[in-house]
Structure 1
């Protein structure tokens, strides 16, 4: 059986205020083409289908179009809910969906698999929706469920109980933060600090393959446990990470092979660093005019209207940040030390500007303006 593992579509998410709907539709069309070209039997979407618990109408339209297109390839589709989804809303129409599309959002059904078969026999798919301990502990009284680790461990116990009852190959689907994930891979926005949400890898023992969602970058936690990541780049921190899906083959004995398939990137992301003039160089403009741009300009002083200037050349500039370059040879002095030798008002203003500008005092034009303001004050005081 051939399985395509994808996750974290985040339908409806914006990118620095810009809609991603058209870009995601393009990528999901490409994913559907890959399903057809590779004779995929089952497509898994491991949570965070939507970016919001209350998605807007167009988000439902895009999801419906994508599910119908995938179904028309002949593949079965299995979808679980993530922490961004409303399980109730996502699962509301599950019974109304056409045969071959399964939306798994009910915690009480974790131990009951979706069973599909090939020439080698049955394959049992166990969908674990995102489980918030405070919400789902009511379903399993007598079990301590205070952390994601405890909650996922209990869920996987239910999966293993189902595996004992339903013999054959098995695949588990979950949405969580597994131990061993590379912290430089695109982490979800809500991943908590302190380790409370980290799920030990041993929790996932048993199934032939575990398809995880929640991490936005491709990740192989073990040979059997993997994250596919998001199909789009949703932050500049992800810009160097590939986008795609895992193509998983099961043979008669279990996991046979796993291959990565790249997805197209509708618009590249790039971070440009240098002085504003360097960023706006002809070479940069020629190379990146069509990219999403994050400009980090290193001029000593903040520039006037940098975003306007950047967007004149980079229409898709999404972020700008002033990050002055640091002079390692410059000795830091406190504001009090700078003021110590200042006698006149002009010197005090110069000392202040040097302090707040990292050692850079007023420009020649600014010095002229300072003198004019101080002279006006002196004249005004003389008239009183």
Structure 2
């Protein structure tokens, strides 16, 4: 049995105010081409299909075209919701799509969705577990059975599904496993304090755990693997090689994993140096269409620098300065943040992201929620 493993498509993603739609259209076509060459028995997509719970029309059309190509080439597909997805929207027309070989699991409904495939070695059971929180599981449990952590929630969801571990089993899941390498300035958005961390031991017994949520491809162990994103979605990821994973499964306990590299339409990269040096070197640069972050070392700000740089690099995204002044200015905010409360930190983050202050009602709700979490209550 041969599986392909993808995750974190984040269709509709905007990076530094630039839509990634054309990049995503290109990479999805490349993925389909590789799948047609490799001919897997099934494709596993481990969540965060969309970047937002309410996706744009452009994002929906990207998924529509992708699924249409998968059906055209008879590529059986299993797809789950991640924390960025709204399960009901993702699973719209799910029964109709299932008749075409596209199996979508948007929500946990008391047990994992399950399908069975077969090859020369017998049956392979495919289990679909979308992103879950304790509250998602507790609604199906009596009060004395309720769980309080993400670890317990995932373990309970698996236990409720009656998995026969003497058989070959694959699980598609979207959670944050302890030990996963996360880029400090990357595009993942994890819960502060590690409240959503789980141990990889919850997947013990499965022959392969196809994970999503972390954007860097990595092995937690031989059978628990993150596929990573198919594209770099932040400059922290610019040097990562993006890929699609393939899993060759033979008899029980025999699994081989390899990857095929994905090549973006345009790379994300950083150009660093003094302003005049960057301008003079531009003539020799053969990749001016890349998405570029400029880091200038000049002590004085250069007037209209980004405008002039965009004449040479039309996809220039950001301009930053790294010099003695900016390094000194960074020390003060860090010292201030060390003394700020969690609610004040979040209010600062909210203003930076949205350009406006939180309302009185929002601050009150936030403080109540933080108090509930800090006192051991269940997160909502």
Q: Smaller-chain TM-score range?
A: 0.7 to 0.9
Match of 2:146 in 1: 144
The answer (yes or no) to whether the contact 1:144–1:150 under 8 Å persists in 2 is no
Measured in 1, the distance between the counterparts of 2:184 and 2:42 equals 26
Measured in 2, the distance between the counterparts of 1:100 and 1:121 equals 20
**Are 1:298 and 2:308 counterparts?**
no
Cα separation, partners in 2 of 1:284 and 1:234, compared to 1, 3 Å = farther
Q: Which moved more, 1:204-213 or 1:269-278?
A: 269-278
Measured in 1, the distance between the counterparts of 2:318 and 2:191 equals 25
The answer (yes or no) to whether the contact 1:208–1:254 under 8 Å persists in 2 is yes
1:271-282 aligned within 5 A: 271-282=270-281
Q: Secondary structure at the match of 1:281?
A: helix
Q: Secondary structure at the match of 2:88?
A: helix
Give the Å deviation of 1:300.
Answer: 0.9
Match of 1:349 in 2: none
Cα separation, partners in 2 of 1:196 and 1:214, compared to 1, 3 Å = same
Q: Secondary structure at the match of 1:139?
A: coil
Match of 2:70 in 1: 70
Count matched residues.
326
Give the Å deviation of 1:77.
Answer: 0.3
Give the Å deviation of 1:128.
Answer: 0.5
Q: Which moved more, 1:2-11 or 1:109-118?
A: 109-118
Give the Å deviation of 1:168.
Answer: 2.6
The answer (yes or no) to whether the contact 1:78–1:103 under 8 Å persists in 2 is yes
**Are 1:100 and 2:131 counterparts?**
no
Measured in 1, the distance between the counterparts of 2:41 and 2:124 equals 11
Cα separation, partners in 2 of 1:110 and 1:34, compared to 1, 3 Å = farther
Larger radius of gyration: 1
Scaled by the length of structure 2, the TM-score of the pair is: 0.80
Give the Å deviation of 1:95.
Answer: 0.8
Q: Mind listing any 5+ residue stretches in structure 1 that lack a counterpart? A: 331-384
The answer (yes or no) to whether the contact 2:7–2:230 under 8 Å persists in 1 is yes
Measured in 1, the distance between the counterparts of 2:185 and 2:171 equals 22
Scaled by the length of structure 1, the TM-score of the pair is: 0.80
Match of 2:50 in 1: 50
After superposition, the C-alpha distances for 1:99-153 in whole angstroms (9 at most, x for unaligned) are 3110012312634411111222111111101113234422233333333222122
Give the Å deviation of 1:54.
Answer: 0.8
Q: Which moved more, 1:205-214 or 1:256-265?
A: 256-265
After superposition, the C-alpha distances for 1:147-166 in whole angstroms (9 at most, x for unaligned) are 3222122223235x2225xx
Q: Which moved more, 1:11-20 or 1:1-10?
A: 11-20
Match of 1:196 in 2: 195
CA RMSD of aligned residues (A): 2.2
Measured in 1, the distance between the counterparts of 2:292 and 2:130 equals 35
Cα separation, partners in 2 of 1:289 and 1:252, compared to 1, 3 Å = same
Match of 1:270 in 2: 269
Cα separation, partners in 2 of 1:249 and 1:109, compared to 1, 3 Å = farther
Give the Å deviation of 1:232.
Answer: 1.1
Give the Å deviation of 1:288.
Answer: 3.8
1:90-239 aligned within 5 A: 90-97=90-97, 98-108=99-109, 110-142=111-143, 143-159=145-161, 161-163=162-164, 168-184=167-183, 188-239=187-238
Measured in 1, the distance between the counterparts of 2:198 and 2:310 equals 43
After superposition, the C-alpha distances for 1:155-208 in whole angstroms (9 at most, x for unaligned) are 23235x2225xx631101110111111233885532123221111111111110
Measured in 1, the distance between the counterparts of 2:280 and 2:310 equals 13
Q: Secondary structure at the match of 1:271?
A: strand
After superposition, the C-alpha distances for 1:236-257 in whole angstroms (9 at most, x for unaligned) are 1100011111100110224331
Measured in 2, the distance between the counterparts of 1:254 and 1:102 equals 25
The answer (yes or no) to whether the contact 2:137–2:157 under 8 Å persists in 1 is no
Q: Which moved more, 1:72-81 or 1:285-294?
A: 285-294
Measured in 1, the distance between the counterparts of 2:206 and 2:215 equals 23
**Are 1:85 and 2:90 counterparts?**
no
The answer (yes or no) to whether the contact 2:186–2:237 under 8 Å persists in 1 is no
Give the Å deviation of 1:268.
Answer: 1.1
1:314-325 aligned within 5 A: 314-325=313-324
Match of 2:36 in 1: 36
The answer (yes or no) to whether the contact 1:133–1:147 under 8 Å persists in 2 is yes
